[in-house]
Amino acid sequence: MEPLDFEKPIILLASASPRRSQILADAGIRFRKIAAAIDDSKINYNFPHENVSEEDHKKYSLFMAHAKLKPFVDIVRNGAVLTSDCTANCEGKILEKPETIEKAREQHQFLSGKTNKVFTSHACFFNGKTADAVRISDVHIEKLPPEIIERIISEPEVLDCAGYRMAGEIAKYSHYDPKEHNNIKGFDPETVITLLKKVGFPEKDIFMF
């Protein structure tokens, strides 16, 4: 990658996710999108995904956020690069992006009537400093009738969301602390702001107003 040198401090979101962009914008955070440098699907299945403890899932989640961050370290000056990774864990099983309709159906059948944990990791790099964090949210999903599962897996973006897409039909069957909504959707502004401050990003340059 070519070096990126900014005259003034700027926040760079290294994610193609429209949801993450919208969450940052809704929080009033000033940022610019840059192209993610890796395809996480190429590396995530190199790790065990069955019988995974909470502690091991946290390590895995952080590893993925740092893998996305690594290409930008040392080539960006005056830009705070933000990356994130979000996966669900149900009964020790890590649930990634399903990739096919058949896999999406299987994952929603597995989640039906169970409580799962959503692990959202964040990593931030700014002028030689790195900080990270993992936030874990509990979500209970009611029993999903077969016809509801079919509706869910026919919705847009369902194949691009790890575990399940927290929107549309499934939202009617999901129960969680409202304070965890953004984290469940894959990006938490409170955590982002904390990390930006940890790496020394100027607070006056965080917000749009």
pLDDT per position as a tens digit, 18-67: 889 999 999 999 999 998 767 776 677 678 899 999 999 999 999 999 99
The alpha helices in the chain, defined as continuous H runs, are: 18-26, 54-69, 101-111, 146-153, 181-184, 189-198
- What is the rounded distance in angstroms from the CA atom of residue 147 to the CA atom of residue 12? 41
Do 122 and 80 form a contact (C-beta atoms < 8 A)? Answer: no
Element (H, E) at 153: helix 146-153
Do 108 and 79 form a contact (C-beta atoms < 8 A)? Answer: no
- What is the rounded distance in angstroms from the CA atom of residue 135 to the CA atom of residue 189? 11
Q: Enumerate the β-bridge partners of residue 95.
A: 88
Which CATH number applies to 4-203? 3.90.950.10
Residue 1: how many other CB atoms lie within 10 Å? 10
Q: What is the pLDDT of residue 36?
A: 74
pLDDT at 205 exceeding the cut of 70:
yes
Each residue's pLDDT tens digit, 133-178: 999 999 999 999 999 999 999 999 899 888 899 999 999 999 999 9
For the chain, what are the domain ranges? 4-203
Could you tell me whether strands 76-90 and 4-14 are parallel, antiparallel, or unpaired per DSSP bridges?
parallel
pTM of the complete model: 0.92
